[in-house]
Amino acid sequence: MKKRIFSGVQPSGNLHIGNYLGAIKNWVELQEQYDSIFCVVDLHAITVPQDPKVLRQKTIELAKLYLAAGIDPQKSKIFVQSHVPEHAELAWILNTITKVSELERMTQFKDKAGKQNREGVGMGLMDYPVLMAADIILYDTNLVPVGEDQTQHVEITRTLAERFNQKFGETFVVPEAFVTREGKRIMGLDDPTKKMSKSADSEYSYIALTDSEELIRKKIKKAVTDSGSEITYSEDRPAIRNLMNIYSLLGDQSISDIAAKYAGKGYADFKSDLADIVVESLRPFQERFNKLSDEQVLEILKDGAKRVRPLAAQKLSEVKQKLGFVV
Ligand code: ATP
Ligand code: LTN
């Protein structure tokens, strides 16, 4: 039997090259060997306020991006989280074995809650990792391909699965995070100390997968650099190191080759070539994206939900039996 992988992205903001390199590129490769389930996690997206019209659009758009990136609905199941109500139901049950202190410790929660005044922080934001745990363990997932920033959430998922198993008997597979070299964070173009993020205040922080050629060139031109002018890769030059990482990953060239190529050259040459590489690597992807219709994508998503729902229902029914619910 093939091992199972499960992953998801929130349909909020614009999907960027960090999401692609950190997560989705990896999924495309893994779907060949694993029984793969990929989700558009709309229930997670509403942990911060969303405009309903935009959320609807972004949900379809994100599924389109999965497909354009190479997720094949023949090989993988793709669906929308809210189409399978078992996710929310299991999250509630897992809440009852989760400690508030465990959730307060989560880095993402601290980051996101820190941005707002603590009084106004929604309960959903705090509960985010529990819903994510439910997503994962509902399907007997073995591996969770995510970027490095999500490993803490996979850790708490393991804790909750083990805790449930201990209290109520063997029920859940305990999953592992799967982070590739690319999952090393791609940092923001305007601030290389923060990860590239779709909820960044400025769109000059990220390169979206759907950005036009003109905008990509403009963003790379504006990207901050370090003092000095050499193209060298080191810890104390985080801006240029980040740009070299992007160059290396999208251009498929090693860091040492890039450093050699630009020895004695300045930022302008490097940035202009980097823009070419980004534009060229996104071109085929954007062509596929533009060919997909909303209706086509919605069909694929509904079919995906139909295929995963029985798996979720079966696991949830086992959980209810173990808990002592009358069924
Ligand atoms: P937000 O900043 O709004 O929380 P995000 O850009 O971090 O959004 P997510 O939906 O949280 O996007 O992440 C989707 C996937 O992309 C996750 O697997 C995450 O680990 C990965 N990812 C996100 N940002 C980066 C990044 N800068 N570098 C590498 N991987 C990333
Ligand atoms: N929190 C994840 C999105 C997510 C997820 C999941 C990833 C929700 N549920 C289950 C893997 C498995 C993020 O990338 N921000």
Listing DSSP states for 104-146 in one string gives: HT-HHHHHHHHHS-GGG--HHHHHHHHHHHHHHHTTT-SEEE-
Whether 277 and 310 share a structural domain: no
Quote the domain boundaries for residue 319. 4-179+293-323
Tell me whether residue 192 is in a domain: no
CATH number, domain with residue 298:
3.40.50.620
Tell me whether residue 140 is in a domain: yes
Per-residue pLDDT of the chain (327 residues; tens, 9 = 90+): 899 999 999 999 889 999 998 889 999 999 999 999 999 999 999 999 999 999 999 999 999 999 999 999 999 999 999 999 999 999 999 999 999 999 999 999 988 887 666 777 889 999 999 999 999 999 999 999 998 889 999 999 999 999 999 999 999 999 999 987 666 789 999 999 998 988 788 999 999 999 999 999 999 999 999 988 889 999 899 999 999 999 999 999 999 999 999 999 999 999 999 999 999 999 999 999 999 999 999 999 999 999 999 999 999 999 999 999 998
Whether 312 and 213 share a structural domain: no
The ligand minimizing its distance to the Cα of 7 is 2
Query: Is 247:257 a contact under the CB 8 Å cutoff?
Result: no
The overall pTM is greater than 0.95: no
Q: Could you tell me the end-to-end alpha-carbon distance of the chain, in angstroms, rounded to an integer?
A: 30
Query: Could you identify the residue written with the tokens 């959730």?
Result: 103
Active site residue 198: yes
Tell me whether residue 196 is in a domain: no
Based on the structure, what is the number of domains in the chain?
A: 2
Could you tell me the distance, in angstroms and rounded to a whole number, from the CA of residue 229 to the centre of ligand 2? 38
Q: Ligand 2 atom 2: the closest Cα is on which residue?
A: 9
Whether 285 and 169 share a structural domain: no
Q: What is the predicted pLDDT for the residue at 246? A: 96
Q: What is the predicted pLDDT for the residue at 115? A: 65
Could you tell me the distance, in angstroms and rounded to a whole number, from the CA of residue 8 to the centre of ligand 2? 5
Tell me whether residue 187 is in a domain: no
- Give the Cα separation of 40 and 8 in Å (integer): 6
Q: What is the predicted pLDDT for the residue at 116? A: 62
Q: Which atom of ligand 2 is nearest to the CA of 132?
A: 9
The ligand minimizing its distance to the Cα of 5 is 2
Whether 153 and 221 share a structural domain: no
